[in-house]
Amino acid sequence: MSGAAMYAAVQAGGANDWVIQHAPLVKRIAYHLMGRLPDTVQIEDLIQAGMLGLLEAVKQYDASQGASFETYAGIRIRGAMLDELRRADWTPRSVHKKARMAAEAIRNVENRLGRDANETEVAAQMGVSLEEYRHILQDTAACKTFSVEELVQGEDSVIDEIHTQHHPEQQFIEQSFQQALANAIADLPERERLVISLYYDEELNLREIGQVLEVSESRVSQICSQALLRLRARLADWLEGNDNGGRI
């Protein structure tokens, strides 16, 4: 359904007040996502996509499912924005490739040492300097198709893949993955776990997180990227088979 047709349907259903009331949520999510995207991405495009997600949320929301409308709408809004970004993927394939290599290097080092891999060890595993590795992290920070949200929602996510397989034990598998993701986040090194929590739970932007940690915004971006790569490495058994094309 087009945006105009969806809006007409929402108005006909008398739910226009919900759209007006939650429009600020769309802007808040858009500006939060912009913190990890390049200048070539226009905030207006994110907001437009998010509004379509909000309209879809108003149309599809079922209070009997237990989730609050704001929680449900937030998921649909963010998902619509990620879909829009995915359709206009600007990231060079080389960046995706290096990010995959970094995740594999983290996995190999941690399997070999039995502990968290640090940046120097990952760089050595990749055969690059620490400076070059941090540059890869910086590039990966803007890889819009790789985030915690993408692990659990989006067209190539693990959860969506589970749903398309129609397993009788589908709900158990989904719950198991969610638990695996929660455990992987809990097991991150303390600083990475803090950055993930501040960014995704507290919804601070990179500048604000930098002020909390007393480091530069670019360093926060690197730490966040390292955390996401580490999550991907530790969830590799779930993610294998879900990659496609140039995505991380």
Decide which of 87, 112, 138 is a domain's last residue.
87
User: Do 112 and 176 reside in the same domain of the chain?
Assistant: yes
pLDDT, position 143:
56
What tens-digit pLDDT sequence spans the chain (248 residues)?
A: 444 444 444 444 455 777 888 889 999 888 887 766 666 678 888 899 999 989 988 888 877 777 788 888 888 898 888 888 777 665 667 777 888 899 999 999 999 999 999 999 999 999 999 999 999 998 877 554 445 555 544 333 444 443 444 445 555 656 677 778 888 889 999 999 999 888 877 878 888 999 999 999 889 989 988 998 998 898 887 766 444 333 33
Q: How far is CA 51 from the centre of its chain?
A: 19
The 10 Å Cβ neighbour count of residue 108 is 16
User: Do 97 and 201 reside in the same domain of the chain?
Assistant: yes
Two structure tokens written together for 128: 């690059």
pLDDT, position 157:
44
Decide which of 87, 107, 135 is a domain's last residue.
87
User: Do 206 and 107 reside in the same domain of the chain?
Assistant: yes
User: Do 101 and 145 reside in the same domain of the chain?
Assistant: yes
User: Do 41 and 109 reside in the same domain of the chain?
Assistant: no
Does a structural domain hold residue 245? no
User: Do 98 and 146 reside in the same domain of the chain?
Assistant: yes
Three-class DSSP labels, 128-155: CCHHHHHHHHHHHHCCCCCCHHHHHCCC
Does a structural domain hold residue 194? yes
Two structure tokens written together for 22: 């939650």
pLDDT, position 105:
96
User: Do 153 and 220 reside in the same domain of the chain?
Assistant: yes
Decide which of 87, 114, 136 is a domain's last residue.
87
Give the structural domain span for 123.
Answer: 93-239
Does a structural domain hold residue 247? no
Does a structural domain hold residue 51? yes
User: Do 130 and 219 reside in the same domain of the chain?
Assistant: yes
Does a structural domain hold residue 215? yes
pLDDT, position 112:
95
Return the SS3 of 19.
Answer: helix
User: Do 137 and 235 reside in the same domain of the chain?
Assistant: yes
Does a structural domain hold residue 180? yes
Nearest to 16 by CA among 71, 70, 55: 55
CB distance 70 to 94 below 8 Å: no
User: Do 105 and 227 reside in the same domain of the chain?
Assistant: yes
Nearest to 203 by CA among 71, 69, 32, 36: 32
pLDDT, position 43:
86
Does a structural domain hold residue 244? no
pLDDT, position 202:
82
| DSSP 8-class letter at 37 | S
pLDDT, position 39:
66
pLDDT, position 21:
86
User: Do 31 and 138 reside in the same domain of the chain?
Assistant: no
Does a structural domain hold residue 123? yes
CATH value at residue 33: 1.10.1740.10
Domain count, the chain: 2
pLDDT, position 75:
84
CATH value at residue 140: 1.20.140
pLDDT, position 165:
45
pLDDT, position 85:
75
pTM score, whole prediction = 0.61
User: Do 103 and 186 reside in the same domain of the chain?
Assistant: yes
